[in-house]
């Protein structure tokens, strides 16, 4: 096969601006948002216009969450952008995801929260028929999945696993059988097959599997099945993070998950991928282009990062001032009074502490370059780095020494946790704060051992 290039974007979350994204209720909502909201129309218009003119590839893959939250008008407007992109000569393959169907979406104006017309899941096939389904060589209508021939010798397995509430995020037996049928046909036809699905199949950091809505719950079985069936590369989204991860199955087959940041939130990214051969793939990261908005003198990167940092800072403020609100944001709707008190006390201590003061308390040596750094700021940076990719706090850095040194003071307790729960907390933290794998922005990977 000849080298083939294509672009990947994900989590476009297009919102029709005219529906309403303003007012006090909107401002309150945005306190807990990583992604932009009012700006999504402008961002998408700029990004798709850039793709229309881009010369490096003629194919664009979009890995789900096309609308902000299933608003019918958002879908209709986004499809007009896709139509213009397709008219420029680009081929477009999309999948839909959980934010694309919702019978009760929301918007905001001066009167508070409103409810525009929503979209049912069964409407999505017809809405996006011209952007993947119409030219597919195989379609699983029930799961909204399909196979597309991207080039001679290269096929795309576009997988959607957003069924009803009883089987959401799970590949059913019927869909798994369909997948195996398509991978078998690809092997028989001498085709390389790559995949695209919305929910991450490998964790960007070890914390992901511990959080219910971060990734596919069957990721271990699914990745093993795909790798052993000959699918060694998948493009994902959902968590709005930038990561490139790999696992090797017991049979010795590799599986790579390239997750791309959301188009509308830090780290806002476009991927350019080159399939050099059935064994080798190159990936590059392109920042989202400038868009028409009052950026208040900030660059794109600064503007997106300000929104991300605002979200984390607000959460840390809730911890000390309104722990019940924080716990609600994290999914705990009716926390006990004891939990609220503990979180509130911790929030107040975090707000006052420096890295040096915490190290001193635990009798851990602290490098002078970070001893006056607010603990709150370090925690924010750790979270931001997990999402941004290439987390920098590896062995040899002052931050690594401080965090792992403090954690080491709890080693007797952590050994018990590891023995009883099988959870290596120290390794989990080590892999979360510092990245030691391949570059998560630009690189070249070997799909086969």
Of all residues in the chain, the percent with pLDDT exceeding 90 is 90
Mean pLDDT for the stretch of residues 36-41: 98
**Helix, strand, or coil here: 244?**
strand
> Exposed, middle or buried by CB within 10 Å (0-12, 13-18, 19+), for 125?
middle
State the pLDDT at residue 165.
56
Whole-number Å distance between alpha carbons of 170 and 229: 18
* Least-confidence region, from 59-63, 168-172, 275-279, 414-418: 168-172
- Alpha carbon of 389 to those of 286, 393, 410: distances in Å? 14, 11, 27
**Helix, strand, or coil here: 3?**
coil
The residue ranking higher by pLDDT, 241 or 169, is: 241
Long-range contacts made by residues 206-213, C-beta under 8 angstroms, separation at least 24? Answer: 206/427, 206/428, 206/431, 206/432, 207/386, 207/428, 207/432, 208/239, 212/331
Whole-number Å distance between alpha carbons of 65 and 386: 21
Mean pLDDT for the stretch of residues 334-361: 95
Q: Tell whether the model's pLDDT for residue 215 goes beyond 90.
A: no
State the pLDDT at residue 91.
98
**Token code pair at residue 238:** 């959902």
State the pLDDT at residue 168.
67
Mean pLDDT for the stretch of residues 421-443: 95
Handedness of CA 64, 68, 69, 72 (dihedral sign): negative
State the pLDDT at residue 169.
77
State the pLDDT at residue 421.
86
Instruction: Please measure the distance between the N-terminal and C-terminal CA atoms of the chain and give it in whole angstroms.
Output: 20
The residues pairing with 14 across neighbouring beta strands, listed in sequence order, are 67
Mean pLDDT for the stretch of residues 268-278: 98
State the pLDDT at residue 74.
98
Q: How confident is the model at residue 2 (pLDDT cuts 50, 70, 90)?
A: very high
What's this model's pTM, rounded to 2 decimal places?
A: 0.96
Please give the mean pLDDT across all residues of the chain.
Answer: 95
Mean pLDDT for the stretch of residues 233-243: 97
- Residue 131 sits at φ, ψ, to 5 deg, of -125, 50
Q: Tell whether the model's pLDDT for residue 328 goes beyond 80.
A: yes
Q: Which residue has the tokens 């601006």?
A: 17
State the pLDDT at residue 166.
57
Domains in the chain, ordered, with CATH?
Answer: 4-293 (3.60.21.10), 301-433 (no CATH)
Mean pLDDT for the stretch of residues 275-281: 98
pLDDT tens profile 14-33: 999 999 999 999 999 999 99
Mean pLDDT for the stretch of residues 325-354: 91
**Helix, strand, or coil here: 250?**
coil
pLDDT tens profile 163-211: 755 556 789 899 999 999 999 999 999 999 999 999 999 999 998 988 8
Of all residues in the chain, the percent with pLDDT exceeding 70 is 99
Q: How confident is the model at residue 406 (pLDDT cuts 50, 70, 90)?
A: very high
């Amino acid at each position: 096969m000849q080298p083939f290039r294509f672009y990947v974007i994900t989590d476009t979350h297009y919102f029709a601006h005219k529906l309403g994204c303003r007012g006090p209720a909107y401002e309150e909502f945005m306190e807990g948002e990583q992604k932009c909201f009012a700006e999504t129309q402008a961002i998408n218009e700029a990004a798709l216009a850039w793709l229309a003119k881009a010369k490096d590839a003629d194919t664009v893959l979009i890995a789900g969450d096309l609308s902000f939250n299933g608003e019918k008008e958002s879908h209709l407007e986004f499809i007009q952008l896709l139509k213009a992109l397709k008219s420029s000569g680009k081929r477009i393959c999309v999948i839909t995801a959980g934010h694309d169907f919702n019978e009760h979406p929301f918007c905001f104006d001066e009167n508070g929260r409103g409810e525009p017309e929503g979209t049912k899941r069964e409407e999505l096939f017809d809405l996006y028929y011209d952007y993947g389904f119409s030219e597919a060589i195989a379609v699983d209508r029930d799961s909204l999945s399909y196979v597309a021939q991207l080039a001679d010798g290269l096929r795309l397995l576009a997988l959607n696993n957003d069924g009803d509430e009883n089987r959401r995020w799970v590949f059913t037996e019927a869909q798994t059988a369909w997948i195996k049928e398509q991978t078998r046909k690809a092997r028989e036809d001498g085709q390389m097959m790559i995949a695209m699905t919305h929910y991450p199949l490998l964790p960007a950091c070890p914390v992901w599997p511990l959080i219910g809505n971060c990734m596919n719950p069957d990721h271990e079985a699914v990745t093993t099945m795909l790798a052993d069936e000959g699918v060694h590369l998948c493009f994902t989204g959902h968590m709005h993070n930038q990561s490139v991860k790999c696992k090797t199955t017991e049979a010795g087959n590799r599986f790579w998950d390239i997750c791309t940041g959301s188009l509308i939130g830090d780290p806002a990214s476009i991927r350019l991928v080159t399939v050099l051969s059935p064994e080798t793939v190159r990936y590059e990261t392109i920042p989202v282009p400038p868009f028409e908005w009052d950026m208040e003198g900030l660059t794109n990167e600064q503007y997106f990062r300000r929104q991300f940092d605002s979200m984390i800072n607000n959460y840390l403020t809730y911890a000390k001032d309104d722990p019940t609100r924080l716990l609600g944001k994290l999914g705990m709707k009716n926390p006990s009074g004891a939990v609220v008190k503990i979180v509130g006390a911790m929030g107040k201590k975090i707000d006052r502490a420096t890295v040096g003061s915490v190290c001193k308390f635990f009798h851990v040596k602290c490098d002078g370059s970070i001893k006056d750094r607010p603990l709150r700021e370090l925690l924010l940076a750790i979270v931001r780095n997990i999402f941004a990719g290439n987390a920098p706090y590896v062995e040899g850095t002052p931050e690594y020494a401080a965090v792992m040194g403090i954690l080491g003071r709890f080693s007797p307790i952590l050994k018990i946790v590891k023995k009883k729960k099988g959870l290596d907390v120290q390794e989990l933290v080590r892999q979360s704060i510092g990245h030691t794998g391949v570059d998560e922005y630009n690189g070249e990977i070997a799909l086969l051992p």
